[in-house]
Amino acid sequence: MAQKTLNAIAFFTLMFVATGWAQQRETIDVRLTRIEESIKVTNQRIEELAKGINQRIDDMNQGINKRIDDTNQRIDAGFNLLIAIIGILVTVMGVVVWFARQERPVSKKHYDKLLQKDEELGEQFDKLAKEDESKIRRLAQHERRMDELSQKLNALETEITMRKNPATYFAFV
């Protein structure tokens, strides 16, 4: 009887230990499953954030490109205006030279009118020269602004590149 009792105690002890191991194993598996699921959810959130950041950067790049294109168009329009003014000045000078070389008798009244027109043309020429100088100054300012914008664009592109590759971003920070 003592042997049976000892066998029964040993059997129940083994069953108790086996049940404990099974419950402990099941608890570890459940915990590992939860951890894996939370890692997957975290990875999905990180991917969504990265997509959002990339979209914002792309939108910002498009805005900057549009501004640069607008500035280039304005500068081109300024050059076209400058070329037109220079063309008009050359034409006026050609007409003045052509008119001055004409060999025809001119009356005193007509000569006075011509001198007055010549003075007016000289004044207009001086005004156009001053306008030309101011436009050249504005053009130089536009070029400086374009250089600044180019430097800012380069800095933004560098920052974008660093943010797209976090390993290099933290290396520079």
Q: What is the DSSP string of 44-65?
A: HHHHHHHHHHHHHHHHHHHHHH
Amino acid at 137: R
Residue predicted with more confidence, 54 or 31: 54
Give percent of the chain above pLDDT 70: 89
CB-CB contact of 103 with 32 (8 Å): no
User: What CA–CA distance (Å, rounded) separates 92 from 131?
Assistant: 16
- pLDDT > 70? residue 94: yes
User: What CA–CA distance (Å, rounded) separates 77 from 72?
Assistant: 9
**Mean pLDDT value across residues 120-142:** 89
- pLDDT > 90? residue 90: yes
- pLDDT > 60? residue 173: no
For residue 167, what is the enclosing H or E element?
helix 166-172
- pLDDT > 70? residue 70: yes
Give percent of the chain above pLDDT 90: 16
**Whether this model's pTM surpasses 0.75:** no
| Residue position matching structure tokens 């129940």 | 12
Most trustworthy range by pLDDT among 25-34, 39-48, 106-115 = 39-48
Identify the DSSP state of 165: S
